[in-house]
Structure 1
Amino acid sequence: MELSEADPKGLVRESYRIEGITPGECRSIFMDWALSLRVDADHPAAIRVLLDHYAAGAPDHPMTATLQAGLAPPEAPKRRGGRVGRMA
């Protein structure tokens, strides 16, 4: 996958240029980025392309952590029993 396919609107590129960006802002940009990809796009492959391109030069950037979290397997749902489980 090409970088232009992995970040079609340049959202991730711009996030790395914003000084003082917070992790919350990075998560918001990540959501916008995910919604901007084609429906049939391979999201994990796109994230790997972005990490390969941007993370080496900015390993401590909050967007790097956000992208790495995007590759992590989802947590298993937790069962909630008793009254609390019935109220949700």
Structure 2
Amino acid sequence: MKGDALIDPKGLIHEAYRIDGITASECRSIFLDWALSLPEGQETGKALRVLLERYGEPKPDHPMTTVMRDGLASVATPQRRGGWRARPRN
């Protein structure tokens, strides 16, 4: 299933799983490109869950599976905002 228009518009994740000997570093680079290419309004967490089910479950030891799991964990964990947004207002 190359390039589902909503969750993998450029087919990057699909192709990453087809590359023999791909490294974790290369997977992180591909993942960043994938995240930046998602259509506006597409929920990243939802897309990652679908991709992990489609590609990660059959290949749990693939470096892209690890990268996507890490990405899903960071999407699910809210980050503290720093700077002036974090300061209480009087």
Q: Which residue of structure 2 lines up, in the alignment, with residue 84 of structure 1? A: none
Whether 1:43 and 2:21 are equivalent positions in the alignment is no
Map 1:5-84 onto structure 2 (within 5 A).
Answer: 5-73=6-74, 74=77
Aligned-partner Cα distance in 1 for 2:15–2:50: 16
Give the alignment's TM-score, normalised by structure 1. Answer: 0.78
Give the structure, 1 or 2, with the largest relative contact order (CA under 8 Å, sep 6 or more).
1
Distance in 2 (CA, whole Å) between partners of 1:24 and 1:38 is 24
Give unpaired runs (5+ residues) of structure 2: 81-90
- List per-residue Cα deviations over 1:23-44 (Å, max 9, x = no partner): 0000000000001101211000
How many residues matched? Answer: 75
Alignment RMSD (CA, Å) = 1.7
Deviation readout 1:32-84 (Å, 9 max, x if unpaired): 0001101211000000000000012110000000000001135867xxxxxxx
TM-score, normalised via structure 2 length: 0.77
Using the aligned pairs only, state the percent identity. 52
